[in-house]
């Protein structure tokens, strides 16, 4: 039997997943690596750490099969990271990652040079610190000696492609996140590159996501144990590949991922750009398709904050009983009624992105009374995160996209209570799938399309993905959430001036 591999260059580590053509997971391997924060708001990684981790994962996986049984490999990974190579293909500096916040000034400069409306029209997105293009401008300004040696720009997963194949290539879904791509034409924007004075020949070849972009070289075969000549397909950025892994490959089905951050993702058959740029508009990993995406920065991260700061008793119980502390907290939350008896939570613990791209936004509990206890607090956090995700859903609906079903994934989707809250706040049918592997699973399916195992991406999903759980909203609780959501959605506008003032005072007295 032949097998497919998906490799994910994640933020905390590398994961390699092995599936058969029926979509069954045969084996997986993970290897962690560090993230460095040399200054406040900076986030960097060493690309060589990714390559070492990938080698270790491949060798662990090959304990389960022969190298010649691997039909193809798909790549995915963290988006937006900047990897710079010189003419000899050597890494010039650590990768500046997606969560690095150093480029606010460069975002402003980029908007001035290109024009806000023009940037939105061509790239589908405004200039934000997470994207790749402002990072290039930062290096030009602050590290001119590095900029002068630069010959190639790559994204994280594409550096692994380079080490595996020797090819300098990317694919449309990840390239769109650089905001150097013309998302309508699905190729690099000559206009934006010219306005920013970024040489066109620095940019790798752009392919559709299931296309074979190279084959494992002799040197890489020696390093990894893979068979020389094994095909490597384009793959996808982690969100697009994760959407393939959840079957978000046709209109009417939307995914919601409740991880550290929260993501709402919708497939579109035509390029659609939210007029104010409040949703990301990227090329999809499905050839000839696009997607819109909203992001809540602190989704599961809000519950983790609660666990770490206020959940010490629950953590102690979890340690004694061998239960995940999150499930202990959620058992508490289940004791409170829907709506938490008027307690509302704004989950802006890391600022926010959608629908408010505001680094000064703050977390808030509102409506506290002597009646409220810890169950209300925990449930309010879960509900507040879900209201924030609904903000993304409402923007998607406002673009004329219908939502018939929501597919949930991520750590939050493991909770029966959170799935119920999601279904009722969204007031829509919500399902989970038997596959929970997300991006590496989607990358493996893309490898199957590129190597002929499946005819196309929708067929790959149809043949491999199956519903595990289904939740229908309770009408009474859905109405309770509707009433509270209407209050929630007004809170940011009311509090924004205070958020800005708080940030100024904090900065004034910062040590």
Please, what is the Cα angle at 120 between 119 and 126, to 5 degrees?
80
- Is 238 known to be catalytic? yes
SS3 151: coil
Terminal CA-CA length for the chain: 61
CA distance 257 to 438: 10
Helix (H), strand (E) counts: the chain: 18, 24
Angle in degrees, 0-180, between the axes of helices 300-310 and 374-398, rounded to the nearest 10: 170
Q: At what angle do helices 238-245 and 439-450 cross, to 10 degrees?
A: 80
- With b for 16 or more beta-carbon neighbours within 10 A and e for fewer, the 337-355 pattern comes to ebbbbebbbbbbbbbbbbb
Q: Which residues contact 466 (CB under 8 A, 6 or more apart)?
A: 433, 434, 435
DSSP, residue by residue, 435-493: ----HHHHHHHHHHHHTTSSSSHHHHHHHH--EEEEEPPPHHHHHHHHHHHHHHHHHHH
CA dihedral 418, 26, 157, 450 (to 10 degrees): -110
Over the range 14-38, which residues count as b (16 or more CB within 10 Å of their CB) and which as e?
A: bbbbbbbbebebebbbbbebebeee
User: CA angle 344-347-348, nearest 5°?
Assistant: 130
Three-state SS at 255: strand
Cα angle 476-481-484, degrees, rounded to a multiple of 5: 130
Return the structure tokens found at 86: 């010189």
Q: Please pick, among 238, 308, 324, 474, the residue that the annotation labels catalytic.
A: 238
Q: What is the DSSP letter of 251?
A: T
Structure tokens given for 418: 């959170």
Annotated catalytic residues are 238
């Amino acid at each position: 039997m032949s097998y497919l591999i998906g490799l994910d260059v994640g933020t905390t580590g590398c994961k390699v997943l092995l599936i058969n053509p029926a979509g069954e997971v045969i084996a997986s391997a993970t290897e962690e690596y560090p993230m460095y924060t040399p200054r406040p708001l900076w986030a960097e990684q060493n690309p060589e750490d990714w390559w070492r981790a990938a080698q270790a994962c491949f060798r662990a996986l090959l304990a389960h099969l022969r190298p010649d049984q691997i039909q193809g490999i798909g790549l995915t990974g963290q988006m937006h990271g900047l990897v710079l190579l010189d003419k000899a293909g050597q890494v010039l500096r650590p990768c500046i990652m997606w969560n690095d916040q150093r480029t606010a000034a460069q975002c402003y400069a980029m908007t001035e040079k290109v024009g806000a409306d023009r940037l939105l029209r061509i790239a589908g997105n405004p200039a934000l610190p997470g994207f790749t293009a402002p990072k290039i401008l930062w290096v030009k300004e602050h590290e001119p000696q590095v900029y002068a040696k630069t010959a190639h720009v790559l994204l994280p997963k594409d550096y692994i492609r380079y080490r595996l194949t020797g090819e300098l290539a990317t694919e449309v879904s990840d390239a769109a996140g650089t905001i150097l791509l013309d998302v309508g034409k699905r190729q690099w924007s000559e206009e934006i590159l010219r306005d920013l004075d970024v040489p066109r020949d620095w940019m790798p070849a752009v392919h559709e996501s299931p296309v074979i972009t190279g084959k494992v070289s002799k040197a890489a075969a020696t390093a990894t144990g893979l068979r020389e000549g094994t095909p490597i397909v384009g793959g996808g950025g982690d969100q697009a590949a994760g959407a393939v892994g959840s079957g978000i490959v046709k209109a009417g089905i939307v995914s919601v991922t409740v991880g550290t951050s929260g993501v709402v993702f919708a497939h579109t058959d035509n390029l659609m750009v939210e007029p104010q740029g409040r949703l990301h508009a990227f090329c999809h990993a499905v050839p000839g398709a696009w997607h819109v995406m909203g992001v809540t920065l602190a989704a599961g991260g809000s519950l983790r904050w609660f666990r770490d700061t206020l959940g010490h008793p629950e953590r102690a119980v979890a340690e004694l009983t061998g239960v995940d502390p999150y499930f202990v907290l959620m058992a508490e939350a289940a004791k409170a009624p829907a709506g938490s008896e008027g307690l509302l939570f704004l989950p802006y613990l890391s600022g926010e992105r959608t629908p408010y791209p505001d680094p000064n936004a703050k977390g808030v509990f509102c409506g506290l009374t002597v009646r409220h206890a810890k169950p209300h607090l925990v449930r309010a956090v879960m509900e507040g995160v879900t209201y924030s995700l609904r903000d993304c859903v409402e923007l998607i609906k406002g673009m004329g996209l219908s939502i018939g079903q929501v597919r949930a994934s991520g750590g939050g989707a493991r909770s029966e209570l959170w799935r119920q809250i999601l279904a009722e706040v969204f007031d829509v049918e919500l399902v989970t799938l038997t596959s929970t592997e997300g991006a590496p699973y989607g990358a493996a399916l893309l490898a199957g399309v590129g190597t002929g195992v499946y005819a196309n991406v929708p067929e790959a999903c149809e043949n491999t993905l199956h519903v595990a759980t289904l939740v229908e909203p309770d009408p009474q609780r859905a109405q309770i959430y509707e009433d509270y959501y209407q209050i929630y959605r007004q809170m940011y506008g009311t509090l924004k001036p205070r958020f800005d003032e708080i940030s100024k005072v904090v900065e004034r007295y910062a040590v």
